[in-house]
Amino acid sequence: KKVADRYLKREVLGEGTYGVVYKAIDTKTGQIVAIKKIRLGKQKEGVNFTALREIKLLKELKAPNIIELTDAFPLKGNLHLVFEFMETDLEAVIRDRNIFLSPADIKSYIQMTLKGLSFCHRKWVLHRDMKPNNLLIGPNGQLKLADFGLARIFGSPDRKFTHQVFARWYRAPELLFGSKQYGSGVDVWAAACIFAELLLRRPFLQGTSDIDQLGKIFAAFGTPTSSQWPDMLYLPDYVEYQYVPAPPLRSLFPMASDDALDLLLKMFTYVPKARISVKQALEHRYFSSAPPPTDPAKLPRPA
Ligand code: ADP
């Protein structure tokens, strides 16, 4: 049976934040696609129109490191989003113990991540939910950001779902303190966590609750002082933490190059406005110094 007279449904790929994702064949192009079914059930009619208008904007976002939204249509109370099909994701790469990631490979993956982010930030779209399993990898090794802008349209993913707890590990300190006027810096922080995870081959800051997440951040970078980050005191969920000094970053990343560490520290800046931008990060000497990033087609991938 065809969906919307065009897509032949295949197997379910998984359950995501907003609903089920399944594989399908686009009979118009012969391409394999991934269709994300988003429940709109409880929302008001008006929200659907807003969502559709926003989705139309996302369809215009086309870049090499962004997953393409090829179609979108409402059907039986669900919104269906059609994306190009991707074979694997960065989480699978990081987790695969048979894969060795060279410094050049890590540079290539993080550069593609930042290039995707840079494109969206130029269009004033934030991701807000960056994590390794949202970084999909295509047949030619290209890394593409998935789920762009969805968090803003459909609301923050429901943290009560068990599969969502991991997203906490990538949250910026201003979000954990309840900031509502955050900006592109939240994506930079998340990208830094992914950079760290590529270097360590395990999630860097694995908090078990929002409070614990802040504790893990402070243990790694030292508790921010009010003179260092004055606005922190006025954030809705601000609570005072016992002071801990920062250990040398080098001790946490013994294998990283000096250039990699310098960029990482600039991405992990507490004060959101002082945090390096994605554009500046791409201009950092880490990307121009040796070794050059690996050609995507030559990157190691899960078997
Ligand atoms: P989450 O919201 O937890 O990030 P998603 O909704 O993005 O999860 O995806 C759910 C499942 O569908 C995941 O297992 C993911 O690998 C798969 N998936 C999502 N998008 C695609 C795609 N474009 N191509 C192939 N698989 C996909």
Q: What is the ipTM, given to two decimal places? A: 0.95
User: Would the pLDDT of 154 be above 90?
Assistant: no
Average model confidence (pLDDT) across the chain? 90
Choose between 124 and 196: higher pLDDT.
196
Number of residues in the chain: 303
pLDDT (0 to 100) of residue 52? 77
User: Would the pLDDT of 293 be above 60?
Assistant: yes
pLDDT (0 to 100) of residue 152? 64
Question: Which of ligand 1's atoms lies nearest the C-alpha of 89?
Answer: 16
Distance between start and end Cα atoms, the chain: 32
In contact, 101 and 198? CB cutoff 8 Å: yes
Q: Is 129 a catalytic residue?
A: yes
Question: Count of CB atoms within 10 A of residue 120's CB?
Answer: 22
Residue 83: helix, strand or coil by DSSP? strand
pLDDT in tens, 89-113: 999 999 999 999 999 999 999 999 9
| Buried/exposed 16-54: b ≥16 CB within 10 Å, e otherwise | bbbbebbbbbbeeeeeebbbbbbebeeeeeeeeeebeee
Give the Cα-Cα-Cα angle 62, 63, 67 (nearest 5 degrees). Answer: 75
| Minimum CA distance residue for ligand 1 atom 3 | 16
Give me the phi and psi of 14, to 5 degrees please.
165, 170
Return the residue matching tokens 């270097």.
199
pLDDT-based confidence at residue 4 (cuts at 50, 70, 90): confident
pLDDT-based confidence at residue 222 (cuts at 50, 70, 90): very high
In contact, 13 and 3? CB cutoff 8 Å: no
In contact, 13 and 32? CB cutoff 8 Å: no
pLDDT in tens, 138-147: 989 999 999 8
In contact, 38 and 54? CB cutoff 8 Å: no
Q: What percent of the chain has pLDDT over 70?
A: 91
pLDDT-based confidence at residue 64 (cuts at 50, 70, 90): very high
Question: Which of ligand 1's atoms lies nearest the C-alpha of 147?
Answer: 7
Record the pTM.
0.92
User: Would the pLDDT of 38 be above 90?
Assistant: no
User: Would the pLDDT of 297 be above 70?
Assistant: yes
User: Would the pLDDT of 44 be above 80?
Assistant: no
Residues with beta carbon inside 6 Å of ligand 1?
A: 13-14, 16-17, 21, 34, 36, 67, 83, 85-86, 89, 133-134, 136, 146-147, 163
Residue 80: helix, strand or coil by DSSP? strand
| Minimum CA distance residue for ligand 1 atom 12 | 14
Question: Which of ligand 1's atoms lies nearest the C-alpha of 36?
Answer: 6
Cα separation, 70 vs 147, in Å, equals 13
- Average pLDDT estimate for 128-134: 91
User: Nearest-CA neighbor of 109 among 267, 293, 302?
Assistant: 293
Catalytic residue among 26, 71, 105, 129: 129
- Beta strand ranges found along the chain (DSSP E): 2-3, 7-15, 20-26, 32-39, 69-75, 78-84, 88-89, 135-137, 143-145
Give me the phi and psi of 225, to 5 degrees please.
-95, 160
